[in-house]
Amino acid sequence: MTHIITSLCVRDRGCIDVCPVECMIPGNPVNEWPWIYIDPDTCIDCGACVPECPFAAIFPEDEVPAAYTAKGGEYISRVDLTGHFEGTNHHGQPIVLDTCKQLEAGEVVDMTPDIQPNYDFFKTGPGYSSKDLDTGL
Ligand code: SF4
Ligand code: SF4
């Protein structure tokens, strides 16, 4: 099994620093790969990244919620969305995303479609070479 980063990820980057096998890779280009992605072949399911995420975006693969109920105010980020998000990441650097939508309290979102992009990123997407394009966003 592996852990999965879902569309609740807004690239805070706090998780990357704690992964003991360095398998969490920032997606690039950002508009095509807006999250950080976990390499499912390398993740050892240690769970260290989960409490580091201020947006609670990381789940064991078999616990990714099919019916996530929004608290209200949180963002999801997916390539087919066009909303704007600005923030500051774990290292104090600006985050700017244009692939977002802010959720309303009680809105229910199926997060299971977010599983496959974690696999695709490493199979057909940029994978580890994405680090070469990384600007810190
Ligand atoms: S800490 Fe959470 S929001 Fe930040 S990059 Fe990791 S998964 Fe994404
Ligand atoms: S569960 Fe452990 S090995 Fe897997 S991505 Fe998180 S920190 Fe890395």
Please write the tens of the pLDDT for every residue from 103-132: 999 999 999 999 999 999 999 999 999 999
137: pLDDT confidence band, cut at 50, 70 and 90?
confident
Report how far ligand 1's centroid is from the alpha carbon of 106 (Å): 22
Closest C-alpha residue for ligand 2 atom 7: 19
Q: What tokens appear for 86 in the block?
A: 């600005």
- Report the candidate in 48, 27, 45 with the shortest Cα–Cα distance to residue 36: 27
Please provide the average confidence, as pLDDT, over all residues in the chain: 96
C-beta of 11 in contact with ligand 1 (< 6 A):
yes
Closest C-alpha residue for ligand 1 atom 2: 53
Contact 69, 110 (CB under 8 A): no
Distance, CA of 39 to chain centre: 12
Contact 10, 100 (CB under 8 A): yes
What is the pTM (predicted TM-score) of this model? 0.95
Backbone angles phi, psi at 29, to 5 degrees: -60, 150
